[in-house]
Chains A and B, each alone.
Chain A
């Protein structure tokens, strides 16, 4: 049943470009996939490990700039750009995470927030490298064995492949003992330690993996936008990732994936009323938070619990 559902969803996603024949719709779904991956990475860090990290925005931007600079400035190709984005993010995440994860919950939030803001400043002010507010435009279409991902539908399949790989990896991680251990640390760290778990190692791993995946998502997305500039570090992106995780249900894999695809498509679906669409979007968010305070997954968990209580009586 689960496999069937999964295959159907994959088929439906693969059928998006030919069936709509519209670059606009394909582009919306493409963005949805990229944001879903970034949200799933944030879910690993925040939902599973309980670390409210705003640094994800910084890693997203660093990923974008790394791949763009590798191609436009250092003569590499797109794939080398992805590798650079992953490696640089891993190194920075380890360097930032190791001291920061030792601090308390609130300090962690503040430091990661400062880190994200700092990344934005660097993008804007290190003009000799990033060209500042001008950004780096004209990113060429990536190609593989002579096949250029030069149209939106072609690029869409590149993104779909990345999304399946990244989400598959995060799923394997989240549903394994590692994901359970992270959720245990989030629920009760002293108890987890008394069971032999080293929280710092797990938190650091989640932080670094989250940074790599987010960075790769950003590194790919800038080649769809064909430009990277300081606006790529705008808080809009962080806010989108967070909304997806919270509406989906922090710590639940499928809830977040589902919310990712819906929440990114929603503002576009609301374009029938261009003036009011963000107002309606906001209203939907508020209602969703009132009705589903722990997200879609939390709602389902509550129903299951109610059924269980009834069966025990």
Chain B
């Protein structure tokens, strides 16, 4: 398998605190890769750096062999890497379809003059984008709310909408920051099914999540970060039972660890 995303020696410090300290990993094309780690382990900073929202102090990020290090977020999005945000972001005043129609990709060949004159090309692109937006809203199960402004959705519904929005441009790589945090527990399995389905259709995923069960059930490969460094990576079953991971997460001995794991 070839690597779609390659991250080499990524580092970012805030006022001397090394949030990410020389992390290297790869996301293989066609996989669902998970990234876990305790709070403050550098997951969000890593995502921010590779999606362009933070400028890394050092290191290199390449998408499908093209160097995207230090590019602006919008350029990275246009290169095919879409992301969602941990603190969910939606366009509160827009209805669900309009939320998804902000994506630039479906209108790539449409100029401003087309938009102003409502040319045939513009209308075709708009209709196609709207049809796709409705499909995706259906996919995440929000069709009933399609006419509602996104601001009235619940937190979990917003997460689903954000997922649909990230899928809108048919991206090569989707980076999800805690996609099921706040989502109704009965719907978490549905989210996993959606991700598997989209994955089968060709999209690669990198998922940061605290819900270990969700990650274990879904991912082909898991990366564990701790204190800004990569601790281990491998298949979920292996990682799950790795002593270093248990220590990092809980910092207590194994007997208590398994008790806590069972309780959760």
Q: Which residue of B lies closest to A192 (CB)?
A: B102
Q: How far is the CA of A171 from the CA of B219 in the complex (A)?
A: 48
Q: How far is the CA of A184 from the CA of B148 in the complex (A)?
A: 16
| Chain A interface bracket (under 10, 10 to 19, 20 to 34, 35 or more) | 20 to 34
Chain B residue contacts of A177, Cβ below 8 A: 101, 107, 110, 115, 122, 126
Contact (A176, B77) CB under 8 Å given A184-B91, A308-B148: no
Q: Chain A interface secondary structure, helix, strand, loop or mixed? A: helix
For the complex, is B250 an interface residue (Cβ under 8 Å from A)? no
Chain A residue contacts of B237, Cβ below 8 A: none
For the complex, is B103 an interface residue (Cβ under 8 Å from A)? yes
For the complex, is A312 an interface residue (Cβ under 8 Å from B)? yes
Q: Which of B84, B144, B152 is within 8 Å of A309, CB to CB?
A: B152
A194 contacts B51, C-beta separation under 8 Å: yes
Contact (A176, B116) CB under 8 Å given A183-B93, A191-B90: yes
Chain B residue contacts of A91, Cβ below 8 A: none
Chain A residue contacts of B91, Cβ below 8 A: 183-184, 187-188, 191
Q: How far is the CA of A309 from the CA of B148 in the complex (A)?
A: 8
For the complex, is A195 an interface residue (Cβ under 8 Å from B)? yes
A196 contacts B148, C-beta separation under 8 Å: no
For the complex, is A280 an interface residue (Cβ under 8 Å from B)? no
Chain B residue contacts of A188, Cβ below 8 A: 89-92
Q: How far is the CA of A183 from the CA of B101 in the complex (A)?
A: 12
Q: How far is the CA of A229 from the CA of B145 in the complex (A)?
A: 55
For the complex, is A137 an interface residue (Cβ under 8 Å from B)? no
B contact residues, total (Cβ < 8 Å): 42
Chain B residue contacts of A308, Cβ below 8 A: 147-148
For the complex, is B82 an interface residue (Cβ under 8 Å from A)? yes
Q: How far is the CA of A191 from the CA of B84 in the complex (A)?
A: 8
For the complex, is A282 an interface residue (Cβ under 8 Å from B)? no
For the complex, is B78 an interface residue (Cβ under 8 Å from A)? yes
B102 contacts A195, C-beta separation under 8 Å: yes
Chain A residue contacts of B57, Cβ below 8 A: none
Q: How far is the CA of A196 from the CA of B169 in the complex (A)?
A: 9
A-B interface, 9 closest residue pairs, ranked by CB to CB distance from nearest: A196-B104, A196-B77, A191-B89, A176-B115, A193-B73, A184-B102, A196-B78, A195-B103, A193-B74
Q: List 26 A-B contacts (CB under 8 A).
A: A169-B116, A172-B116, A176-B115, A177-B101, A178-B112, A180-B94, A180-B98, A181-B102, A183-B94, A184-B91, A184-B102, A190-B89, A191-B102, A192-B102, A193-B53, A193-B72, A193-B73, A194-B74, A195-B74, A195-B103, A196-B77, A197-B104, A205-B112, A305-B152, A312-B144, A312-B145
Q: Which residues of A does B touch, CB under 8 Å?
A: 169, 172-173, 176-178, 180-181, 183-184, 187-188, 190-199, 205, 305, 308-309, 312
